[in-house]
Amino acid sequence: MNSKVASSGISRRALVSTLATLPVLSGTLFSTSAPAQTAADPLPSWNDGAAKQTIVNFVTAVTRDGSPDFVPVPQRIATFDNDGTLWCEHPMYAQLAFALDRVKAMAPLHPEWKDKQPFKAVLERDMKTLAESGERGLVELVMVTHAGMTSNEFAKIVTDWLAAARHPRFNRPYTELIYQPMLELLAYLRANGFKTFIVSGGGVEFMRPWTERVYGVPPEQVVGSSIKTKFEMRDGRPELFRLPEINFIDDKAGKPAGINEFIGRRPIAAFGNSDGDLEMLQWATMSGGVRLGLIVHHTDAEREYAYDRHTPFGELDKALDAAAMNKWTVVSMKNDWKRIFAFQ
Amino acid sequence: MNSKVASSGISRRALVSTLATLPVLSGTLFSTSAPAQTAADPLPSWNDGAAKQTIVNFVTAVTRDGSPDFVPVPQRIATFDNDGTLWCEHPMYAQLAFALDRVKAMAPLHPEWKDKQPFKAVLERDMKTLAESGERGLVELVMVTHAGMTSNEFAKIVTDWLAAARHPRFNRPYTELIYQPMLELLAYLRANGFKTFIVSGGGVEFMRPWTERVYGVPPEQVVGSSIKTKFEMRDGRPELFRLPEINFIDDKAGKPAGINEFIGRRPIAAFGNSDGDLEMLQWATMSGGVRLGLIVHHTDAEREYAYDRHTPFGELDKALDAAAMNKWTVVSMKNDWKRIFAFQ
């Protein structure tokens, strides 16, 4: 796909739509005895090498009839982290960029923010002071920008923001900064009877408005962090109001707990990129049987970003050490991926 | 199905398995332009009448190509209460019977329970004193019997109990006391592109071990109440431990909140039988467009039980009044159902 076509936004969407229909067709046509690989390469954006081969070998092992490692379709659960695994998380999480933009948009109604931290820092683009406000400051930002409206209203705010916002380096909508090789991987797994879930530390209602269109992952297969909501009849209409109170943090040890609570099955494959995914990878892979654990390693400063052990967003330290011990596949974005984004 | 065959447990399972495969086949064969009704009656255990006709009319309206009320497949979400809607909830919730049996099974390890309420009441079958212990007593029972083990261990405890326990009146496994007309309704909706979810006040990990086998509803489509779990590596193995702490109560106003949190889409059809389902029915039906709200009314003391406004389990009072106002369909088990259980 050349960048001119991709930048129209049509071509990639068409591709995603096409990929999204594959599971149904393939599930029917190939049923249980089909080989995992079809004639065409299902992972064209992956360079040939150990990472790609490990993926294909795993899928073949769990789907081939008569394989000692065969896994029935209903148990083919795959969980994907989002930030840094499916889309770009630098220079900051998209959801944080959203919160900062919301503060700016809401500022005229809050003149007191000019003198009140952490809002003052946001309005003055003083990232150092903002960082110093720590987790407490960030939670305050999230509560002010993510609560106080209905769920429907919030979905519209997110959708409108995503349509207008641009990534500061690539100058494209955030939903174009998704990793093409991972899109192919999602589709490849679905074509082989897997149910693909997102299990992200990000807000579940920040993701659900767009994951189906962009990744082919429907809202009911998205697990994430959440704030509490309250049901009320207002003027004879049922509404769900978003409250400024944390409900669930789907990160680190919260990920296996969230998988258990929301999905109720143990994944046989898990995909992450940071220490926030360590426990999910342990939960998915250390359960006997052939399992796939995979870590996306950000090694490509030219086409995307390069970071691992020392970064404020997506620190990969313990999980990188654990990968070696547990034989998880570490994917080098620079070496294993032909391209990173569809527009490249 | 005659009762001799059904009591072997094989025939009904075969039926459920067959029904479970229908969505895939029908979805492929009929695609979007298929009529909602196939040649054979999809609801054979339903008497002809207003309730059955309302269901068929609704499904036809939302699935027929070119219908002004057409709803795309991904938005065809249907939510079902469990206790009293899909299976029998009298003389007490099956999960309460489970908790009482667990207290008896655990008693030898807890000699102090002989003198400690509410355990003493359970061991002496003193239901009056147990009832007087109120919600606090019940929560204590649930915590003792449902926490303190891993999720895997709990699933095995539930499965073993269900295999051995018998309903006091019908002398059959609880999983045979499921409503045959509702099984047909689940299958009929799935055959028409609906995704069917259970949204129950019951414990989610009490239901998930058997809902797929019995109802064709996979674990990831079961929403319920839960206690907190904690992820830990123990002896090098990842485990999820069940803690004696309430996480979420999926009842009354908790149901629409749970639907939003776990499913992330608004249902277009909802099925319940008690005041615990009122808010779910409001949320599903009061959203514009053709919607289906349905209440199972327990009117058949002979074949099952008769109760509504005054009962300790499954009180139907406000929701019965709301049904008239909101044009929800009230199904009389006595008049609308040819049979209630498969063995009848």
In this prediction, residue A205 carries a pLDDT of 97
Structural element, H or E, at residue A294: strand A292-299
Confidence of residue A22 (pLDDT cuts 50, 70, 90): very low
Residue percentage of chain B with pLDDT more than 70: 89
In this prediction, residue A94 carries a pLDDT of 97
In this prediction, residue B39 carries a pLDDT of 66
Chain B residue with minimal CA distance to A282?
B238
Listed as own residue / partner, the contacts of A123-129 with beta carbons closer than 8 Å and 24 or more positions apart are none
pLDDT in tens, B309-333: 999 999 999 999 999 999 999 999 9
CA B174, chain centre distance (Å): 12
In this prediction, residue B167 carries a pLDDT of 98
- Chain B residues within an 8 Å CB radius of A236: 286
Q: Which residues face A248 on adjacent strands?
A: A226
Chain A residue with minimal CA distance to B25?
A28
Q: What is the mean pLDDT of residues B64-91?
A: 97
Q: What is the DSSP secondary-structure string of A149-160? A: SBHHHHHHHHHH
**Contact flag A238-B256 (C-beta cutoff 8 Å):** yes
Q: Which residues face A293 on adjacent strands?
A: A270
**Contact flag A222-B260 (C-beta cutoff 8 Å):** no
Of A151, A236, A260, nearest to B260 by CB-CB distance is: A151
Kindly provide the ipTM of the predicted complex, given to two decimals.
0.87
Over 60: is that where the pLDDT of B170 sits?
yes
Q: Which residues face B226 on adjacent strands?
A: B248
- Chain A residues within an 8 Å CB radius of B237: 286
In this prediction, residue A39 carries a pLDDT of 66
Query: Quick one: DSSP state of residue A145?
Result: H
Q: What is the mean pLDDT of residues A249-255?
A: 96
d(CA B111, CA B115): 8
pLDDT in tens, A49-62: 999 999 999 999 99
- Chain A residues within an 8 Å CB radius of B205: 264
d(CA B4, CA B124): 36
How many Cβ atoms are within 10 Å of A14's Cβ, its own excluded?
12
d(CA B302, CA B311): 17
Query: Quick one: DSSP state of residue B46?
Result: B
CA A255, chain centre distance (Å): 13
Q: Which residues face B307 on adjacent strands?
A: B298
In this prediction, residue B219 carries a pLDDT of 98
In this prediction, residue A135 carries a pLDDT of 84
Q: Which residues of A touch B (CB under 8 A)?
A: 24, 27-28, 74, 77, 151, 195, 204-205, 208, 212, 218-222, 226, 228-233, 236-238, 240, 247, 253-254, 256-257, 260-265, 279, 282-283, 286-287
Q: Which residues contact A278 (CB under 8 A, 6 or more apart)?
A: A252, A272, A318, A319, A322
Report how many Cβ contacts below 8 Å link chain A to chain B: 101
Return the CA Rg of chain B.
21
Residues in chain B: 344
In this prediction, residue A26 carries a pLDDT of 35
Q: What are phi and psi of A117, to 5 degrees?
A: -80, 150
Of A205, A260, A262, nearest to B240 by CB-CB distance is: A260
**Tokens representing B158?**
């539930």
Looking at chain B, list the stretches that DSSP marks H as alpha helix, in order from N- to C-terminal side.
3-7, 10-30, 50-63, 94-106, 119-123, 127-132, 134-146, 151-164, 180-191, 204-215, 254-258, 278-285, 318-326, 333-336
Write down the pTM of the prediction. 0.88
The strand pair at B292-299 and B269-272 is best described as parallel
CB B256 within 8 A of CB A238: yes
Q: Closest Cα of chain A to B282: distance in Å?
A: 7
